A and B are shown apart, each in its own frame.
Chain A
Amino acid sequence: MGPSGTGKTTLLRLIGGQLKPERGEILLDGQDVSKFKRKALFDARKKMGMLFQSGALFSDLSVYENVAFPLREHTDFSEEIIRDIVYMKLQAVGLRGARELMPAELSGGMTRRVALARTIALDPELILYDEPFAGQDPIAMGVLVQLIRLLNDALGLTSVLVSHDINESLSICDHAVILADGVVIGEGSPTDLKKSDSPLVRQFLNGLPDGPVPYHYPASDYQSDLMDQ
């Protein structure tokens, strides 16, 4: 968790190997992701899933075909098995009835739910969620919160979730990290974080505009900017 522009999505992209770190290591199953060759990286990604903030559905494919896409690319399943898996994944996100729709016909929240169904189509070992709750109505948000935790426990996978929604995130996570200005300002279990007396952590958890974490982007003095001819 952390304020906008602090590097949360960048962190997810680093874990997924889409960006190379300038220094340090990112270990996945004990291996440094940033040192993978192109083929090894694509092989490693077959065990990962990433839910993008925008959903990133393929605009020329229907909802059904979007969810079936990773199955068609990485498996030799028959059409019947693919259909069953797609229906199960869509049922989990409540959109089985929308399978014939095209991405342009979906709302923002529905798009992300279809994207989640596509992300879990291959039952990955690691799922990276980028703002999964943004734009969801309260009912869908409640279901998604439970679904993410359920998937994590039922499939025994690792979930890394980036979010601004403090209460929802803290309600399902085992370990939370708060970032600000590109550095970790607090981490621990949700209980530990709520008890923290760090002013940085308290400001973020309580959503206070004034505190050690600046609300304003660095700028020159406001009054002199206005008076400047």
Chain B
Amino acid sequence: MIDFLIRNGRAGIDFSATVGRSGVFLWHCIFGLSWKLKGLKLLARQMYNVGVLSLVIIIVSGLFIGMVLGLQGYSILIDYGSEQAIGQMVALTLVRELGPVVTALLFAGRAGSALTAEIGLMKATEQLSSMEMMGVDPLKRVIAPRLWAGFLSMPLLAAIFSMVGVFGGMLIGVDWLGVYEGSFWANMQSSVEFREDILNGVIKSIVFGFVCTWIAVFQGYDSVPTSEGISVATTKTVVYSSLSVLGLDFILTAVMFSSF
């Protein structure tokens, strides 16, 4: 019994210490980025690594998910004679839910894991320590640009994902299954609202980007500096980010869209 209490108590203390460390870490990083030319160059480079290099997986996934939505939507709506509403269904599903959520999951797998591995390896090979000993703060020089790049890239990637998804839905609905193009776009325009749908989707993607990038850079910085430690940290990044995104999505959806 005592052993059980000791084990759980220690786990609780470790968890609290990690949460505290990650909070202090976030504070230093958020306010650590220099917005002068040197800092902006670092930010631009990381936005390329985190954002631009994620474009292929985002575009391909967005296209296929939009196409699948088009097929599934058509097969359901045709039973009710409402196949003209396929544009509305595809757009709302993407903008409200799948755009932010799937982009965040892909982002965690592609960019998040890469960030964790890169920072973890820099720690294991003493690159961060050597930077510290040169009087250069690695939180400002290495971590802050990556964190901000993640924050800024995620909403843009989610927007691209949704746009490509709508295009994929149109390819299937209009070009393949023969839904009237005018109805496809008109239904979409009349039902998708800027504040209710698009803005809420953007807010979701900002929150997901913030959480995923924070988890990724912290796991790398806090990793045990061995090959096994980096492997564990990378796995944690993907698992924690995915669960956080799904949990937060439920909470945000409840707050944004529930009428009770």
In this assembly, does A49 line the interface, its C-beta being within 8 Å of a C-beta of chain B?
A: yes
CB distance from A174 to the nearest CB of B (A): 23
Mark contacts of A5-22 with chain B using CB atoms, 8 A cut-off: 1 yes-contact digit, 0 otherwise. Answer: 000000000001010000
Closest residue of A by beta carbon distance from B134? A70
CB distance from A125 to the nearest CB of B (A): 12
Q: Which of A43, A45, A46, A57 has the largest number of chain B CB atoms within 10 A?
A: A45
Is there contact, CB below 8 Å, between A52 and B126?
yes
Closest residue of B by beta carbon distance from A61? B127
Is there contact, CB below 8 Å, between B135 and A74?
yes
- In the assembled complex, the Cα of A194 lies from the Cα of B130 at a distance in Å of 34
Is there contact, CB below 8 Å, between A18 and B127?
no
Mark contacts of B122-152 with chain A using CB atoms, 8 A cut-off: 1 yes-contact digit, 0 otherwise. Answer: 1001110111111111000100000000000
A:38-95 near B, CB below 8 Å: 38, 42-46, 48-50, 52, 54, 56-59, 69-70, 73-74
Is there contact, CB below 8 Å, between A52 and B130?
yes
A54 CB contact (under 8 Å) in B126, B133, B135, B136:
B126
Q: Which of A16, A48, A50, A122 has the largest number of chain B CB atoms within 10 A?
A: A50
Chain A residues within an 8 Å CB radius of B121 = 59
CB distance from B31 to the nearest CB of A (A): 13
Closest residue of A by beta carbon distance from B130? A56
- In the assembled complex, the Cα of A49 lies from the Cα of B134 at a distance in Å of 6
- Specify the main secondary structure of chain B where it touches its partner: helix
Chain B residues within an 8 Å CB radius of A16 = 132-133
Closest residue of A by beta carbon distance from B132? A18
Chain A residues within an 8 Å CB radius of B135 = 42-46, 48, 70, 73-74
A42 CB contact (under 8 Å) in B125, B129, B137:
B137
Chain A residues within an 8 Å CB radius of B132 = 16, 18, 42, 45
Closest residue of B by beta carbon distance from A128? B133
CB distance from B15 to the nearest CB of A (A): 23
Is there contact, CB below 8 Å, between A69 and B125?
no
Assuming the contacts A54-B126, A59-B125, A59-B127, asked whether A18 and B133 have C-beta atoms less than 8 A apart, the reply is: yes
CB distance from A41 to the nearest CB of B (A): 9
Residues of A that sit less than 8 Å from B by CB: 16, 18, 38, 42-46, 48-50, 52, 54, 56-59, 69-70, 73-74, 115, 118, 122, 128
Lowest 8 A-B CB distances belong to which pairs?
A56-B130, A46-B135, A56-B126, A45-B135, A50-B133, A70-B134, A42-B135, A52-B126
Cross-chain pairs A/B with CB under 8 angstroms, 7 sampled: A18-B129, A50-B130, A50-B133, A52-B133, A56-B126, A69-B136, A70-B135
